[in-house]
Amino acid sequence: MRNKFPLSLALCASVLAGCATLPKATKVEDFGAAVETGAAILGSMATTNRTLAFTIGEEDQANNYITGRNFTLGDTPDRFFDPARINVRRQALSALSAYGNALKKAADGTAIADLENASVRLGEAAGKIVAAASPVSAPIIGPAAKLAGRGIGFVIGNAYAAEIQSIIVARDPDVAIVVDLLKADLAVIAGALQLQFDDLQIQRKLTLVNVRSDRRVDRLRLYAEYESARRELDILKLQVAAANSYSAVLDSIVEAHSELVRNEPDAAASVARLVALTNDLSELVAAIRKG
Amino acid sequence: MTLEEAQNEFTAAAVEFETLIAGTPVPASNDTTFWSRLKTLAMSVLGTVAPMSAGLTMRTAMQAVVATHSVIKKLADATGNAVELERYARVMRGLTAEYTALAEKVLDQSEAKYAPIAERFKSAAASLKEAYQKAEQLASSLNLGADLLNAFGKLVSVL
């Protein structure tokens, strides 16, 4: 009987070997966060594009005003990207985000734990019935049925994890494709932001030159105007620079999904299963000894 | 968009740019230097790009617009003359609008590729939800089975 423990452990190890496991929660969250950041960058690009277009138009009207020409207090924005074109990209990222959210729920481990626990409960209940019907062999039936229930639970849990993993693997090429498309498109949009920023810089410079041409404006006022223009442009410059980080953000989406595909075994989950199985086997061995 | 259409777009953009330059009012007095510089620049850009137009794509057309914009920006940085600055600013903004128009055509070319991928992600999300629901349903059925067997076991032990 003493030799049965190492044998049991070997059995446990063999049952657990090749187990399909769900991706780690932190990795699923990393993927979700990367997608959210990608969506935020796209949103920020669209907003900056629009803001710059309106600000340039406003600056143009201000110039008209201070130089004695006709002007308007209404909006006269320069051309900016059609929101419908931005929305197509946003919808693709939304679909990716919805996939990430579904993955988060499916891979949180609750489903597998529920299946395994329910299977063990069923095994125990079946054991009690058999034990009640045949009192002679009662001591080992309970632990044996529990062990069988846990084994079945593992098999069902594995099947579930394998199904989730197969969905992740199947979508991996699509993640790479959509990210490549977005990188190419966002590069085009980012190019426009830089041009718009240059336009605003020159338009603002024109305003400063026109203000300076009035000899009644003292140097202190001129200095304040210059500083004000610099601060305004600095804020927009930061927004343009932030939008230009799209490439690294999109790369992180591909990287985070590849991590899910690789799905390195979750040591904690495997150990927990091994402990549960070992406990059941110990109960069975103890029952056999008593018998 | 076909290559031919792209070339037509570029030709139209080039003509528009040329018209923009030509349509800029002739300077009144002291900025002939500016005018000649701008005209020389425009002619040099168009002269460089025009022979390549047969092989131009939308993206190279955009690069030409960006290059032109960049040169004019440098000229604008180098002057403090309001009349010159105003003209540079107008040309730069015209070029940015042209870039945006070309960029929208480029975005249109890739637009159709997004829909099928988005659909596949939606379908994957639905499959994940379904798998999760099935697992929960199975666990619930197993628990129900255990409850029934426990109840039956009590009955057997009484008998």
Closest chain B CA to residue A50? B100
Closest partner CB to A95 (pick from B103, B121, B143): B121
Give the pLDDT score at B7: 58
Higher pLDDT: A11 or B90? It is B90
CB contact under 8 A, B95 and A195: yes
Chain B CB contacts of A105 under 8 Å are: 128-129, 132
pLDDT band at B46 (very low <50, low <70, confident <90, very high): low
Alpha-carbon separation of residue A282 from A5, A163, A291, B53 (angstroms): 8, 32, 14, 81
CB contact under 8 A, B119 and A95: yes
Give the pLDDT score at A89: 94
Determine the distance in angstroms separating the CA of A39 from the nearest CA of chain B, rounded to an integer: 14
Give the pLDDT score at A227: 98
The residues, any chain, with a CB within 8 Å of residue A275's CB and separated by 6 or more, are none
Give the pLDDT score at A25: 78
Chain A CB contacts of B90 under 8 Å are: none
The Cα A181–Cα A188 span in angstroms is 11
Determine the distance in angstroms separating the CA of A115 from the nearest CA of chain B, rounded to an integer: 5
Question: Which residue in the block uniquely carries the two structure tokens 């494709």?
Answer: A177
Residue B54 pLDDT greater than 70, yes or no: no
CB contact under 8 A, A111 and B100: no
Chain B CB contacts of A185 under 8 Å are: 106-107, 110
pLDDT band at B64 (very low <50, low <70, confident <90, very high): confident
The Cα A132–Cα A220 span in angstroms is 99
Q: Residue B99, exposed/middle/buried by CB under 10 A (0-12, 13-18, 19+)?
A: buried
CB contact under 8 A, A121 and B106: no
Chain A CB contacts of B82 under 8 Å are: 206, 209-210, 213
CB atoms within 10 A of CB A122: 26
The Cα A1–Cα A164 span in angstroms is 41
Question: Which residue in the block uniquely carries the two structure tokens 């900016």?
Answer: A80
CB contact under 8 A, A192 and B117: no
Chain B CB contacts of A81 under 8 Å are: 100, 103-104, 107
Mean confidence (pLDDT) of chain B:
78
In this structure, what DSSP letter does residue B26 have? P
Closest chain B CA to residue A94? B118
Closest to B44 (Cα-Cα) out of B71, B24, B76, B5: B71
Determine the distance in angstroms separating the CA of A100 from the nearest CA of chain B, rounded to an integer: 8
* Three-class SS state of B111: helix
Closest to B13 (Cα-Cα) out of B88, B106, B94: B94
Give the pLDDT score at B30: 53
Low-confidence ranges of chain A (pLDDT < 50): 1-11, 13-14
Closest partner CB to A106 (pick from B89, B131, B156): B131
Site from B16, B92, B111 to mutate, A interface, most A CB atoms within 10 angstroms: B92
Closest chain B CA to residue A130? B153
Chain A CB contacts of B110 under 8 Å are: 181, 184-185
Determine the distance in angstroms separating the CA of A208 from the nearest CA of chain B, rounded to an integer: 9
Higher pLDDT: B70 or A196? It is A196
pLDDT tens string B19-44: 665 655 555 545 556 666 666 666 66
Give the pLDDT score at B151: 80
